[in-house]
Amino acid sequence: MRIIIIGFGVIGRGLAKVLYKKREFLRKNYGDFNVVAIADRSGAIIGEDIDLKRAIEVKEKSGKIINYPGIEKSSLEVIKDVDADVVVEVTPSNLDTGEPARTHIIESFKHGKHVVTANKGPLALYFKELMETAKRYNKIFKFEASVGGAMPIINLAKETLAGNKIISIRGILNGTTNYILTKMEEGLDFETVLKEAKELGIAETNPYQDISGLDTAAKIVILANAIMGLNKTIKDVKVRGIEKITPEALFLANKRGYTIKLIGEIVNGYLIVEPKLIPINSPLNVKGTLNVAMFETDLAKEVVVVGRGAGAEETASAILSDLISIKKMIENES
Ligand code: HSE
């Protein structure tokens, strides 16, 4: 399978590293996954024999893929001109405009490419348009990595729980705020732990998106649309962040057998993100950077998944599973 990677930040490089490290394993079990182009804001590398290890090194050292050496070609030109099966769109997530990812995804479909993305912005703002465009051009669109990182959630609900009615979804979908609340519970102050979360590389480029609950809001919109067939955007979510939670509030909650968590939920068609009191022994009480989601279903009843919601390799795990799934679908068709 021929792959274009658009965006070579933490996630793009994480995928490249995994494809490089697992090359033999993948070849033996699923076939070849060849990266035939990588683009970032500086330009692109295009070729049948891209040295992924070198590409990662160059980007990490100089910040620019063009120093590989590559060529001055924009991401859109790469999407249009390079012969490939799949575009992996992993540019930074923009929750205001969804760009440039939205255009990259639409142009990929128009130019005959399937798309895998981890990008929350376009999905939370233009879900319907993107799904309709994929359908119009008969292309596959997968985005497991956009919610919960490595934690299986979208594909779990759509495939493993297929046939169930998903009645509600409730969970912790932001690792940064969960880390902050966990550390504040241990007595550390907000600013110190926010700094730590940034150093862990899990916070958004603009950590206000984490703290304010917007990142969680984007994720529950994606789940509501992808799993429950709703037609929501981020404007439909009632959002409250963790700005006002103090170590004292956590201490008092603890004394009564509770903790405070930033919970995103979809219940009766309503989308809400807010800090909630959660019993200490609840399965939703996961610590540190972990994410958790609880599905309430008609047949399977309650199903809970826990996993790592962020990180380069963790997110690459979800992207890789989407790539493998597309490869199988293409092979079954032909
Ligand atoms: N900033 C996000 C988080 C990254 O903390 O969960 C993964 O979407």
Q: Is residue 176 lining ligand 1, measured as CB closer than 6 Å?
A: yes
Q: What is the mean pLDDT of residues 308-324?
A: 94
**Residues whose CB falls within 8 Å of the CB of residue 148, separated by 6 or more in sequence, listed in order:** 173, 219, 291, 293, 305, 307, 309, 318
Q: Which letter, b or e, does each residue of 291-321 get, where b requires 16 or more Cβ atoms within 10 Å of its Cβ?
A: bbbbbbbeeeeebebbbbbbbbebbbbbbbb
Please determine, for residue 304, whether its predicted confidence score (pLDDT) is greater than 90: yes
Counting residues of the chain whose pLDDT is more than 90, the rounded percentage is 91
Query: Is-catalytic flag, 59?
Result: no
Q: Is residue 319 a known part of a binding site? A: no
At 201, the pLDDT band (50, 70, 90 cuts) reads confident
Q: Is residue 174 lining ligand 1, measured as CB closer than 6 Å?
A: yes
Q: What is the distance in A from the centroid of ligand 1 to the CA of 204?
A: 6
pLDDT at 317: 96
Structure confidence by residue, pLDDT tens digits, 55-70: 999 999 999 999 999 9
Superfamily for the 153-309 domain? Dihydrodipicolinate Reductase; domain 2 (3.30.360.10)
Residue type, 53: K
Atom of ligand 1 nearest to the CA of 177: 5
| Assessment of whether the complete model's pTM goes beyond 0.85 | yes
Superfamily for the 2-148+313-333 domain? NAD(P)-binding Rossmann-like Domain (3.40.50.720)
**Residues whose CB falls within 8 Å of the CB of residue 56, separated by 6 or more in sequence, listed in order:** 13, 16, 17, 20
Ligand 1 pocket test, candidate residues 119, 177, 204, 214, most atoms within 8 A of CB: 204
For the chain, what is the largest distance between any 2 Cα atoms, rounded to a whole number of angstroms? 62
Q: What is the distance in A from the centroid of ligand 1 to the CA of 173?
A: 8
Q: Is residue 310 lining ligand 1, measured as CB closer than 6 Å?
A: yes
Atom of ligand 1 nearest to the CA of 173: 6
Q: Whose CA is nearest to atom 7 of ligand 1?
A: 310
Write phi, then psi, for 73 (nearest 5 degrees): -140, 135
Q: Is residue 322 lining ligand 1, measured as CB closer than 6 Å?
A: no
Q: What is the distance in A from the centroid of ligand 1 to the CA of 255?
A: 29
Q: What is the mean pLDDT of residues 184-208?
A: 88
Q: Is residue 149 lining ligand 1, measured as CB closer than 6 Å?
A: yes
Residue type, 184: M
Q: Is residue 10 a known part of a binding site? A: yes
What does the domain layout of the chain look like in residue ranges? Answer: 2-148+313-333, 153-309
Please determine, for residue 310, whether its predicted confidence score (pLDDT) is greater than 90: no
Q: Whose CA is nearest to atom 8 of ligand 1?
A: 310
| 73, 142, 183, 219: the active-site residue | 219
Q: What is the distance in A from the centroid of ligand 1 to the CA of 333?
A: 35
Best CA proximity match to 89, nearest among 135, 134, 142: 142
When the pLDDT of each residue in the chain is averaged and rounded to a whole number, the result is 96
Please determine, for residue 122, whether its predicted confidence score (pLDDT) is greater than 90: yes
pLDDT at 299: 98
Q: Is residue 210 lining ligand 1, measured as CB closer than 6 Å?
A: yes
331 vs 230: CA distance, rounded Å: 31
Structure confidence by residue, pLDDT tens digits, 147-177: 998 899 999 999 999 999 999 999 999 999 9
